[in-house]
Amino acid sequence: MLKKIHPTHTMAWEKLLRHYKEIKKVHLKDLFKDKKRFEKFSIEFEDILFDYSKNKINERTIELFIELADEMALEKAIASMFEGDRINETENRAVLHTALRSFKQKYVHTGSHELYKNIENVRNKMRSFSNDVRSGKWIGYSGKKITDVVNIGIGGSDLGPYMVCEALKHYADGPDLHFVSNVDGAHISETFKKLDPETTLFLIASKTFTTQETMTNAFTARDWFLKKAKDQKQVKKHFAALSTNTEKVVEFGIDKENIFEFWDFVGGRYSLWSAIGMSIAVSIGYERFEELLKGAEAADHHFRTADYKKNIPVIMGMLGVWYADFFGAECEMVLPYDQYLHRFPAFLQQLSMESNGKSVSRDGSKVNYRTGQILLGEPGTNGQHSFYQLIHQGTHLIPADFLCAKEPLNELADHHCKLQSNFLAQTEALMIGRTKDEVIEMLEKSNVPETEARKVYLHKVFKGDNPTNSIIYDKLTPYALGKLIALYEHKVFVQGVIWNIYSFDQWGVELGKELAGKILSELKDKKVEAPHDCSTEGLLKHLRKGGK
């Protein structure tokens, strides 16, 4: 099992505290007096370049990162995850989403032969099903082929596949994909407007087939379908389930043959690699879905075998700890200069904040250090005209990852060149800033009167000294995307190990669910009464009155 020691009790943590007091005084641009800095602090992994030279670090920092990783037994933790130990101790489960994308390297652990056989069987079933839907072999109750597929899920059953389908839209050549997640009726109602019941297939993505939001939308979809089809028996031609609850699925009206299994060792936010990825396979084809898996497998191999100094997830994870716990950074940003990745930050929000938003350590004691960070992000260049002002001249330290493709998927005039110029300019600007003297010189050259210059020059000063990572990949292919996702998964894992918390449960979502269930009965039946605080009671009474 994972080591249960507070990071603040390690020798490396004490050394990092002393080191932080020294390096925080050094401006980032001064670190670049070392002309070999980029060479020292960048990593190439296949077609990915990871540049972390624009960070408040030096060679001593990296040495101390590695000391801390060793004291927290990171190597053993990595092995435990890949070998199928039950590292999700609060739920007594293994964490084996990596097995779902294992082709070349099937790591040995208890029951591995049967496990990989089951995974392969589900993959083959996904291939057959997605091929039938895409080719038109699968037909609806009226004999028409499927033109639209609706994935109904929430959380990891929505964010992951939706993000990937958007990211790989360039390759989409199957039926039109739609995603419904919100229990707000507006979401599914607006989706229905685009659909024909005779040519629509619904994928109900719920491990237990009991998730409130998902099943509410699923029953609404079934009712909408049956208004046209009339016959309950036709449900099996228009609904499939990504679930483990066979009894509930069959009761709903879905054929047993149209149930696609996944396992309890697959957490929701790691489930796009499983049958939950069916919408991806339908959209871009099963072969490309496998390319996505193989890209992630390559990242798994890199994470497990690369020396820590050249290990992208390890460096990313340690940098996150460095800024959160030593510099006091509350936020981090992921800024893809790639419109196809517009849902990537939202996906990473769940991955990071649901995993590491914890305040209790593995030994059950309260932590006395910062865990997790608020993750925000938008695609460039949109974000530049939105919230970059806060990063450049605000009072917060916000480390940021910038992502960009070397080659565009769409050749349009000089669009990509302009995109890349902004990508490069922003990280440089955040690093070097602009001093008061530089501003005054610039104003003088522009012939701004001295009285006016005195009024505005401080507003034009940029402090700089803002840390960034730059990630460049050749082109956004399914293989490249698989690598990117897996690298961030492992970054989150590294941080969980260092922070001595369990990253694979999410008990924090339970309380709200339980209370919502109780309040639902009170909203539906005004005779039902239950004690609440005066605020909740007041709001409840107001909602019971209804609109005017």
Same-domain status, 122 and 79:
no
Mean pLDDT of 317-346: 98
- Total domains in the chain come to 3
Strand order in the sheet with 200-205: 176-180, 148-152, 200-205, 239-242, 259-260
Could you tell me the pLDDT band of residue 106, with boundaries at 50, 70 and 90? low
Residue 6 has phi, psi (to 5 degrees) of -70, 135
The first and second tokens of residue 358, run together, are 């914890």
Q: Is residue 20 part of a domain?
A: no
Is the pLDDT confidence value at 412 over 80?
Answer: yes
* pLDDT number for residue 455: 86
Q: CA-to-CA distance for 101 and 114, rounded, in angstroms?
A: 16
Same-domain status, 321 and 359:
yes
Q: What is the mean pLDDT of the chain?
A: 94
Residue where a domain terminates, one of 228, 262, 290:
290
Same-domain status, 216 and 313:
no
Residues 6+ apart with CB under 8 A from 534: none
Is the pLDDT confidence value at 527 over 80?
Answer: no
Mean pLDDT of 79-84: 92
Tens digits of per-residue pLDDT, 472-514? 999 999 999 999 999 999 999 999 999 999 999 998 888 888 8
Burial code of 508-519, b = ≥16 C-beta within 10 A, e = fewer?
Answer: eeeeeeeeeeeb
Is the pLDDT confidence value at 547 over 60?
Answer: no
pLDDT cut 90: percent of the chain above it: 85
Q: Is residue 93 part of a domain?
A: no
Q: Which is catalytic among the residues 144, 194, 228, 385?
A: 385
Same-domain status, 529 and 411:
no
Same-domain status, 498 and 518:
no
Mean pLDDT of 106-115: 65
Q: Which of 231-245, 436-450, 485-499 has the lowest mean pLDDT?
A: 436-450
Same-domain status, 462 and 326:
yes
| Catalytic status, residue 526 | no
Same-domain status, 479 and 332:
yes
Q: Which is catalytic among the residues 354, 378, 489, 522?
A: 354
* pLDDT number for residue 116: 87
CATH number of domain containing 142:
3.40.50.10490
| Catalytic status, residue 27 | no
Mean pLDDT of 113-124: 90
| Catalytic status, residue 354 | yes
**Of 298, 306, 310, nearest in space to 105 by CA:** 298
Could you tell me the pLDDT band of residue 111, with boundaries at 50, 70 and 90? low
Q: Is residue 6 part of a domain?
A: no
Q: CA-to-CA distance for 37 and 59, rounded, in angstroms?
A: 10
* pLDDT number for residue 525: 84
* pLDDT number for residue 107: 54
Tens digits of per-residue pLDDT, 426-437? 999 999 999 999
Is the pLDDT confidence value at 424 over 60?
Answer: yes
Longest Cα–Cα distance in the chain: 82
- Domain extent for 57: 25-85+306-503
Residues 6+ apart with CB under 8 A from 99: 84, 106, 107, 115, 116, 119, 265
Mean pLDDT of 231-244: 96
366: burial class by Cβ within 10 Å (0-12, 13-18, 19+)? exposed
Q: Which is catalytic among the residues 137, 256, 406, 513?
A: 513
Burial code of 331-359, b = ≥16 C-beta within 10 A, e = fewer?
Answer: bbbbbbbbbbbbbbbbbbbbbbbbbbebe
* pLDDT number for residue 109: 54
Same-domain status, 182 and 313:
no
Tens digits of per-residue pLDDT, 149-206? 999 999 999 999 999 999 999 999 999 999 999 999 999 999 999 999 999 999 999 9
Q: CA-to-CA distance for 144 and 133, rounded, in angstroms?
A: 11
Same-domain status, 386 and 493:
yes
Same-domain status, 149 and 173:
yes
Mean pLDDT of 109-138: 90
Mean pLDDT of 113-132: 93
Same-domain status, 215 and 341:
no
